[in-house]
Amino acid sequence: MTSFQIAKEFLLNGEEFKIISGAVHYFRVVPEYWEHSLFNLKALGCNTVETYIPWNLHEPQEGTYNFEGIANIENFVKTAEKLGLYVILRPSPYICAEWEFGGLPAWLLKDPSIRIRSSSSNFLTKVDSYYQSLFEVIRPLQVTHGGPVIMMQVENEYGSFGNDKQYLKRLKELMVKHGADVPLFTSDGAWHEALKAGSLLEEDILPTGNFGSKSNQNLDQLADFHQENNKAWPLMCMEFWDGWFNRWGDEIIRRDPEELADEVEELLLRGSINLYMFHGGTNFGFMNGCSSRNSIDLPQVTSYDYDALLTEWGEPTEKYFAVQKAIKKSVGNCWQETPRDLVRKDLGKVKLNRKVSLFNTLSTISHKVYHTHTLTMEELDQNYGYILYQTTIDNREQLDNCRVVDANDRVQVFADKNLIHTEYQETLGSSFVLPKETKELNILVENTGRVNYGGRLLSPTQRKGVRSGVMIDIHFHMNIDHYPLSLDDLSKVDFTNGWEANQPGFYEYIFELDELADTFLDCTGFGKGIAELNGFHLGRYWNIGPTGSLYIPAPLLNKGKNRLIIFETEGIYAEEIHFSHQPKYIQPK
């Protein structure tokens, strides 16, 4: 049986072992393509793959667990093992990863007394229950049980959030209680304050660093931290950022391949590496994360391309070959091979089949919940998507100012189903004029993604929908009908009920295919919304860029009949859509 230990160096079966790893998130790649990504990782010269484990994927509702399909972590690990790769797992409750709420399940927010990422008993009790189910799956995958998993993470960049050592110790104890018996580690920024706050030295847990440049300088800081604490441990960058994520409305971030290769070579001369990301993949569904700047939440795009060594769609990049050479030069005796690519095709154009307005199919896709005042998504047991608030207005003799108070994240206001006002982030809570003849008020709120990093994880803004209420003149308006719109089953949309211009609506496209290949849905004819293909939620699109298409892996397509449904909130739609062989980008304004 394989043994793995941490001494002055990493030891595999008693021999020094340099970890050359790359991040591949199984939850961002369709299972049919796991082998493709992992083969290319091995062909790069890597001996290990690293992945986070998102709690919200595996326990979408409290007490309900999912380890099937794209959530089948066991199959992912065993696929890596078949290719001869070792595995690093990061099952910490919080993962960041530019993933919705940093991987924390949204249902935690229903209880305002829970303080996430803390030693509070009500939070740790939830973690304990989750770990009981999770470790039943991952416990047998450790090298101590004959599997390929060599290390596990206790917490993720906790030194950039808190310094509750009791919390870290309790997490470690829970992992051990449920069967973790491989070496454990923490990962933090490589400066002293972050390492000190986020490490668990008294438990002999290895601190690792996260950075993407100035390799020698960061390794020096990590080595100094080890020495200050009388530890003789190997140096490892657990996240070597080879690219970066992208936000709606921003420029796409790119990094020079040769500069990256030089940094990788410099790092490998002194320590071990995990390339973050090797293959970024896609934030399918509503799982995109959200960063924050000046108290404004900035959601990330559906693509998690990350300017990584493989593109979102799995194509080796110029970076791939530059880093492959750097690894060969630094390590010498690693196995390398020519990487593989996937087939991408232009699948042509498809005409619109049917359309229906949201207001005309509400009763088939949602259920009405009445309350005297506005409820949040979390209070309605809804985690993601949209929520529609509907109320009637008494006859009034004048125009009134109106405000939606404490709402997140994007608000559209309809008076008698006519759009009169849109708010987003910077203008949330601003007043608008409600026409005096208004009989019915509808407010559509989109949850654009919860923050995945920093202090705003604890902000009330992570509870989505309308928290305080709707003010007309100087009073809160009461008696509200709520329509939760999780949009997890668009087969319930009734396309026979009529369509009205300039309203949110659903658009159906039916097409036949004789051959299957990867393709890209051109979304530039639309405004803002989501797309579902054959029951699979492809993710969000938005015409502010920088991305203008949604990636469609071939396994999501059917030979024969296919059905694409688009939910569009801006009233902008295309009579004809195009499936292109390459992605489309929009220059942000």
Which tens digits make up the pLDDT trace of 438-448? Answer: 999 999 999 99
Residues facing 290 on adjacent strands: 299, 451
Domain boundaries, the chain: 19-243+253-331, 348-355+493-580, 362-485
- The model's confidence at residue 304, banded by pLDDT at 50, 70 and 90, is very high
pLDDT at 294: 83
DSSP state letters, 427-471: GTT-EEEEPTT--EEEEEEE----B-SSGGGGSGGGS-EEEEEEE
DSSP state letters, 49-72: EEEE--HHHH-SBTTB---SGGG-
Helix, strand, coil percentages in the chain from 3-state DSSP, rounded to 5: 25, 35, 40
pLDDT at 397 > cutoff 80 = no
Closest CA to 312 of 321, 322, 302: 302
Cβ atoms of 571 and 527 closer than 8 Å:
yes
Q: Pick the catalytic residue: 100, 157, 446, 568?
A: 157
Asked if 50 is an active-site residue, the reply is no
Q: Which pTM value belongs to this model?
A: 0.97
When pLDDT is averaged across residues 4-11 and rounded to a whole number, the result is 97
pLDDT at 293: 85
Q: What is 19-243+253-331's CATH superfamily?
A: Glycosidases (3.20.20.80)
Q: Which CATH number describes the domain made up of 362-485? A: 2.60.120.260
The SS3 of residue 192 is helix
| pLDDT tens digits, one per residue of 265-301 | 999 999 999 999 999 999 999 999 999 888 889 999 9
Cβ atoms of 438 and 472 closer than 8 Å:
no
Tell me which H or E stretch contains 196: helix 192-198
Closest CA to 59 of 161, 153, 128, 157: 128
Maximum CA pair distance of the chain? 85
When pLDDT is averaged across residues 236-243 and rounded to a whole number, the result is 98
Per DSSP, which regions of 17-164 are E strands?
Answer: 20-24, 48-52, 86-90, 149-156
Sequence letter at residue 508: E
User: What is the distance, to the nearest Å, from the Cα of residue 261 to the centroid of all Cα atoms in its chain?
Assistant: 27
pLDDT at 396 > cutoff 90 = no
Neighbours of 479 (CB within 10 A): 10
Per DSSP, which regions of 302-366 are E strands?
Answer: 348-351, 354-357
pLDDT at 425: 84
Mean pLDDT value across the chain: 97
Q: Pick the catalytic residue: 50, 98, 239, 312?
A: 239
Q: How far is CA 456 from CA 8, 116, 161, 293, in A?
A: 38, 12, 10, 10
pLDDT at 436: 87
Rounded to whole angstroms, the Cα distance separating 57 from 65 reads 8
When pLDDT is averaged across residues 344-349 and rounded to a whole number, the result is 98
- The model's confidence at residue 422, banded by pLDDT at 50, 70 and 90, is very high
| pLDDT tens digits, one per residue of 55-77 | 999 999 999 999 999 999 999 99
pLDDT at 302: 98
pLDDT at 398 > cutoff 90 = no
Q: Do domains 348-355+493-580 and 362-485 have the same CATH topology?
A: yes
pLDDT at 96: 98
- The model's confidence at residue 181, banded by pLDDT at 50, 70 and 90, is very high
The CATH architecture that domain 348-355+493-580 belongs to is Sandwich (2.60)
Rounded to whole angstroms, the Cα distance separating 57 from 55 reads 5
Cβ atoms of 255 and 218 closer than 8 Å:
no
Asked if 68 is an active-site residue, the reply is no
Spell out the long-range contacts of 419-422 with Cβ–Cβ below 8 A and sequence spacing 24 or more.
419/502, 419/503, 419/571
Rounded to whole angstroms, the Cα distance separating 384 from 103 reads 13
pLDDT at 426 > cutoff 90 = no
Q: How far is CA 260 from CA 156, 247, 308, 333, in A?
A: 24, 22, 11, 21
| Residue with the two structure tokens 């559509």 | 444
When pLDDT is averaged across residues 137-162 and rounded to a whole number, the result is 98
pLDDT at 558 > cutoff 80 = yes
Q: What percent of the chain has pLDDT over 90?
A: 96
Q: How far is CA 304 from CA 244, 307, 550, 563, in A?
A: 9, 8, 11, 25
Q: How far is CA 163 from CA 121, 174, 188, 384, in A?
A: 17, 18, 12, 30
pLDDT at 330 > cutoff 90 = yes
Cβ atoms of 163 and 197 closer than 8 Å:
yes
Rounded to whole angstroms, the Cα distance separating 389 from 450 reads 20
Rounded to whole angstroms, the Cα distance separating 419 from 402 reads 14
Cβ atoms of 63 and 16 closer than 8 Å:
no
Cβ burial, residue 255 (10 Å; 0-12/13-18/19+): middle
The SS3 of residue 495 is coil
